[in-house]
Structure 1
Amino acid sequence: MASTLTSKGQVTVPKAVRDLLGIGPGSKVDFTRAPDGSVVLVRADDQNHVSLFAQLRGHAGKGLDTDAILALTRGEP
């Protein structure tokens, strides 16, 4: 993925990268230099970023047990 640097030194972070890092408007990012000389963009406001899966886990409320699901699929009351 490539972005173009503006005359003000700004660059647009591609959506796929923003989604991966979980960042949006107002998020803090940090640029670190890796041992191989490359520069790495990391989320600075939450170094222990929790995955989207972990954030959503347990938010569906109380689920149905197996017997209830089978009864629903069979059309039983």
Structure 2
Amino acid sequence: MATTVTSKGQVTIPKPVREHLGIAPGSQVEFRRATDGSIVIEKVEATREPSRLAKLVGISGPGPSTDEIMAITRGD
């Protein structure tokens, strides 16, 4: 299965290979050299680090109830 390298060094991974590896848009792949010198492409099973916002969830405490917020906004 051959593919062409673009001027930017990019290649299109053929559909049968993407399907076999489970590669979808946004997937990460890794290239490594095997002991026999060949190059192997593998899908990276990433354990994604939580986003900056996800790290902040729940750190400010429970906060006021809905009734308390309504009282504050109404000036009660």
| Larger Cα-atom Rg | 2
Alpha-carbon RMSD: 0.9
Which 4+ stretches in 1 moved above 2 angstroms?
none
- Counterpart AA for 1:10: Q
Aligned length: 46
Give ranges in structure 1 of 5+ residues lacking alignment.
Answer: 47-77
In the TM superposition, what whole-angstrom CA distance separates every residue of 1:2-54 from its partner, at most 9, and x where no partner exists?
Answer: 110000000000000000000111000000100110100001135xxxxxxxx
Give ranges in structure 2 of 5+ residues lacking alignment.
Answer: 47-76
TM-score under structure 1 normalisation?
0.57
TM-score under structure 2 normalisation?
0.58
Instruction: Give the % identical residues.
Output: 61
Q: Which residue of 1 aligns with 2:16?
A: 16
